[in-house]
């Protein structure tokens, strides 16, 4: 009763637009990227600002998604906040644009605090934040209903991880100032999200299985690519390498158990459950990256893994998809 009452309020309507259950996955991406770059979260004020900026980008993207989808939602999901009249489309658009500007501002300030203003590293952070903004707007406003939409959604996560990686103290000779291993990790996360997005296309409907198999295949490729990371990170201990492979195999089996059930039964409920589980698993994968990089500092990985708690608590009240 309390939950129903909350969701019926104007504040509850805005919460539905923001889809906050997935917000900790954006935090884990940024924190993971930052940790891989420096093996610390210092200075703390810059990292907090970066996480806040990532949050603004995420919420803006969610709200903008509903702004663009208002006609479709009016037919398929008339209870959503905008078509139901609980939030006006104009107000939602203004808030989304404001959050995009805020996200860019917070990220730029974080880069200035971390690297010093106008340095090469500062401009690297600013450029990644700007590219993330462009991908969010491009996905929601232009490409969402095209074949490019999963790729652009994957790019959003790719740049979100790189936003954390841009806190690196050094300008690398790899790609655009980023170490190749950092770009690889960001690329794997992006491919994983691309696969989830492809798998989730028309999640609310019973559709042909082609998109589901394409999405599942991309997810499998992303998880399979993770097996090269112990070698890329220079791990020499055979026991640790074997442990990484075993963990990844078990994680893949768990994820594909949900995916297989969704494809087998073909009902929207099963697809939504599989999608939510895949998204929440991203937090565990981010924790795995941190543990792989710093096995002697397990608290960092545990801190990221603990973000599953707010995701699950919020997800019980507000649908993540």
CA distances from 179 to 130, 133, 199, 223, 287 (A): 20, 22, 30, 21, 20
- For the chain, the distance separating the N- and C-terminal CA atoms, rounded to the nearest angstrom, is 22
The phi-psi region of residue 234 (left if phi > 0; otherwise alpha if psi is between -120 and 50; otherwise beta) is left
The pLDDT value recorded for residue 68 is 94
The pLDDT value recorded for residue 317 is 86
CA distances from 71 to 3, 83, 89, 173, 252 (A): 27, 8, 11, 47, 37
Q: Say if residues 124 and 176 touch (Cβ distance below 8 Å).
A: yes
pLDDT > 70: percent of the chain = 95
Element (H, E) at 189: helix 180-199
Confidence of residue 37 (pLDDT cuts 50, 70, 90): very high
Q: Identify which has the larger pLDDT, 300 or 5.
A: 300
pLDDT of 140 > 90? The answer is yes
Among residues 121, 160, 111, which one has the least CA distance to residue 139?
160
pLDDT of 35 > 90? The answer is yes
Among the listed ranges 20-29, 114-123, 200-209, which one has the minimum average pLDDT value? 200-209
Segment 199-237, tens digit of pLDDT: 987 654 545 678 899 999 999 999 999 999 999 999 989
The pLDDT value recorded for residue 145 is 84
Among the listed ranges 23-27, 67-71, 112-116, 306-310, which one has the minimum average pLDDT value? 67-71
pLDDT of 21 > 70? The answer is yes
pLDDT of 2 > 50? The answer is no
The pLDDT value recorded for residue 255 is 96
Distance CA(121)–CA(65), nearest Å, equals 32
- Mean pLDDT, rounded, of the chain: 93
CATH, range 20-315: 1.10.600
Segment 56-106, tens digit of pLDDT: 999 999 999 999 999 988 888 899 999 999 999 999 999 999 999 999 999
CA distances from 207 to 45, 142, 156, 200 (A): 47, 23, 26, 11
The pLDDT value recorded for residue 134 is 98
> 156: buried, middle or exposed (CB in 10 Å: 19+, 13-18, 0-12)?
buried
- The token duo for 288 is 């795995």
> 226: buried, middle or exposed (CB in 10 Å: 19+, 13-18, 0-12)?
buried
pTM: 0.95
Confidence of residue 4 (pLDDT cuts 50, 70, 90): low
Following CA atoms 199, 216, 161, 239 in sequence, which dihedral angle do they give, to the nearest 10 degrees?
A: 160
The arithmetic mean of pLDDT across residues 293-317, rounded, is 95
The pLDDT value recorded for residue 258 is 93
Segment 180-202, tens digit of pLDDT: 999 999 999 999 999 999 998 76
The angle, 0 to 180 degrees and rounded to 10, between the axes of the packed helices 268-293 and 23-38 is: 20
pLDDT of 309 > 70? The answer is yes
Segment 39-68, tens digit of pLDDT: 999 999 999 999 999 999 999 999 999 999
pLDDT of 1 > 50? The answer is no
Contacts of residue 44, defined as CB under 8 A and 6 or more positions apart, other chains included, come to none
Q: Which residues of 290-311 are buried (b: 16+ CB within 10 A; e: fewer)?
A: bbbbbeeeeebbeebbebbeeb
């Amino acid at each position: 009763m309390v939950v129903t009452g909350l969701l019926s309020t104007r504040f509850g309507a805005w919460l539905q637009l923001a889809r906050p259950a997935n917000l900790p996955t954006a935090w884990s991406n940024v924190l993971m990227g930052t940790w891989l770059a420096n093996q610390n979260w210092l200075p703390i004020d810059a990292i907090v600002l970066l996480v806040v900026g990532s949050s603004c980008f995420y919420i803006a993207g969610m709200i903008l998604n509903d702004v663009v989808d208002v006609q479709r939602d009016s037919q398929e999901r008339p209870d959503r906040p905008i078509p139901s009249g609980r939030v006006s489309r104009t107000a939602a658009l203004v808030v989304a644009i404001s959050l995009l500007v805020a996200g860019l501002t917070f990220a730029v300030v974080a880069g200035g605090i971390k690297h010093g203003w106008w340095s090469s590293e500062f401009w690297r952070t600013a450029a990644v934040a700007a590219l993330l903004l462009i991908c969010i707007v491009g996905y929601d406003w232009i490409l969402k209903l095209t074949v490019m939409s999963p790729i652009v959604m994957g790019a959003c996560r790719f740049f979100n991880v790189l936003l954390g990686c841009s806190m690196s103290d050094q300008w690398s000779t790899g790609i655009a100032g980023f170490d190749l291993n950092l770009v690889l990790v960001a690329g794997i996360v992006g491919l994983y999200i691309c696969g989830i997005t492809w798998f989730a296309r028309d999640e609310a409907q019973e559709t042909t299985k082609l998109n589901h198999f394409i999405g599942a295949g991309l997810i499998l490729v992303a998880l399979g690519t993770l097996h090269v990371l112990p070698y890329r990170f220079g791990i020499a201990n055979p026991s640790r390498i074997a442990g990484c492979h075993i963990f990844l195999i078990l994680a893949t089996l768990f994820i594909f158990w949900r995916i297989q059930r969704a494809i087998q039964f073909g009902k929207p409920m099963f697809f939504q459950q599989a999608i939510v589980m895949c998204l929440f698993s991203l937090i565990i994968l981010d924790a795995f990256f941190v543990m792989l990089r710093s096995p002697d500092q397990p608290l960092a990985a545990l801190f990221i893994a603990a973000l599953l708690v707010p995701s699950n608590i919020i997800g019980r009240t507000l649908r993540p998809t």
